[in-house]
Structure 1
Amino acid sequence: MARSKKDLIAQGALTAFAQYGYSDTTMDTIAEVAQVAKGTLYYHFSTKEELFLFVIEKGVKMLIDSVNSAMQDSNLSADERMVCVLDEHLRFFSEHQELCLLLLSFFTGDEQRDQAISTLLAGYFSTMEKYLAELKGQGHLKPDADVRTLASAMFGMTGFTVLRKQFRKEPVDTEETRQTLRSLLHGVLGRKEW
């Protein structure tokens, strides 16, 4: 299926923002990276900020959809689902490294824009926190586990692991990486073996 012009522009913008940062990315740069005419770009997005927020919103929605599918897999035990949620974070960030960079370095210096991005990410965090609170309520997490901290930690530990490996030009989604992250999660689940 052919990608729409809007999708091509969004992908080009994601690449440009990840490569140059928000401040140094221009609409001309985005049009060039997306390989679309400036008129086409402005037809779909009137400002760089509108496009930036569209890219972030689309990315956060993809992340939420991705982890939701793992959370709702009724064929797995609660502990297995939690491990799958972690694995899904690693897979997602590995496959969407430019988005990972953007989500983990979203502060642009503009308070209003940063607040809008924070609001978009709040959807992800509320999804994760609700799920983790349910697990904790069912006794699948240690009683002293703070669900807000755990949600932040899962996002951060997988995201920053991917970024560091990306910058070092190392393989990202490896079994060694997955097992190390699972070991960290193991401490909050209190499970004896994987």
Structure 2
Amino acid sequence: MNKTKNLIFESAIKIFSESGYRGATMDDIAANAGLVKGTLYYHFKSKEEIFNFIVEEGLQILQDQVAKVQVMNVGPVEKLISICRIQLTFLYGYTSFFKVVMSQLWGTEDRQNQLRSKIKKYIDEIEVNIKSAMEIGVVKKGDTELLAFQFFGSLCSSAIYESIHNEKIDLETIIDCTIKFTLNGLGVSV
């Protein structure tokens, strides 16, 4: 990503996080990035295009890390533990991005449908490992898609916990507790 697009990326996340999608304006995004509005329009035709860009770029950061886990020569439970650690570290490192994503998950507009589709693609990566763990008898038989969504949701809940507790939290403690809780829910002792 070039320097200007990175400025727009960071600025848009901040503005969407603070003002919501409806309250955010191209003027606000440009001003926060220290750019003239024309530069913004040179790169993006609309606020929705910027929104889709930040979602695509932000989720790609997460998916790139998970792709590395998927090719590791370890078992499915170890992969789930790594995914848990990656997702929580990502959510805590990109809190404003997480707020933007969560605020737009519901609704019927095209950007919301696209967002859900991208989240589903990520959750599919979790499901692959749950299926593998079931096949080797480490995880109890069940609806793998539902379990993958629950796995994802429990990790997101930890990030919500942080947003409510403004004091400094110990990320490693949160990660360890969440890994134990989530894997215990799948029937895996850790």
TM range (shorter): 0.7 to 0.9
Match of 2:102 among 101, 104, 108: 104
Give the 5 Å matches for 1:94-173: 94-107=92-105, 109=107, 111-144=109-142, 146-173=143-170
Letter in 1 for 2:31: E
Whether the aligned pair in 1 keeps the contact of 2:139 and 2:188 (CA below 8 Å) is no
Give the length in aligned residue pairs: 190
Instruction: List alignment gaps of at least 5 residues for structure 2.
Output: none
Q: Shift of residue 153 of structure 1?
A: 2.0
When residues 50 and 134 of structure 1 are mapped into structure 2, their CA distance, relative to the original with a 3 A threshold, is same
Instruction: List alignment gaps of at least 5 residues for structure 1.
Output: none
Mean CA deviation greater in 40-49 or 85-94: 85-94
C-alpha distance in structure 2 between counterparts of 1:172 and 1:142, whole Å: 33
In the alignment, structure 1 residue 181 sits paired with structure 2 residue 181:
no
Whether the aligned pair in 2 keeps the contact of 1:71 and 1:82 (CA below 8 Å) is no
In the alignment, structure 1 residue 46 sits paired with structure 2 residue 37:
no
Q: Shift of residue 189 of structure 1?
A: 4.6
Letter in 2 for 1:105: S
Residues 132-186 of structure 1: CA deviation (Å, up to 9, x unaligned): 2233223232123x22222222222222211331232133453331232122223
Q: CA RMSD in A?
A: 2.2
Residues 68-88 of structure 1: CA deviation (Å, up to 9, x unaligned): 2233322x4432222121111
Sequence identity percentage: 27
Whether the aligned pair in 1 keeps the contact of 2:80 and 2:126 (CA below 8 Å) is no
1:26 maps to what in 2? 25
| TM-score (structure 1 length as normaliser) | 0.86
| TM-score (structure 2 length as normaliser) | 0.88
Whether the aligned pair in 2 keeps the contact of 1:133 and 1:147 (CA below 8 Å) is yes
Residues 48-81 of structure 1: CA deviation (Å, up to 9, x unaligned): 001101111111222211222233322x443222
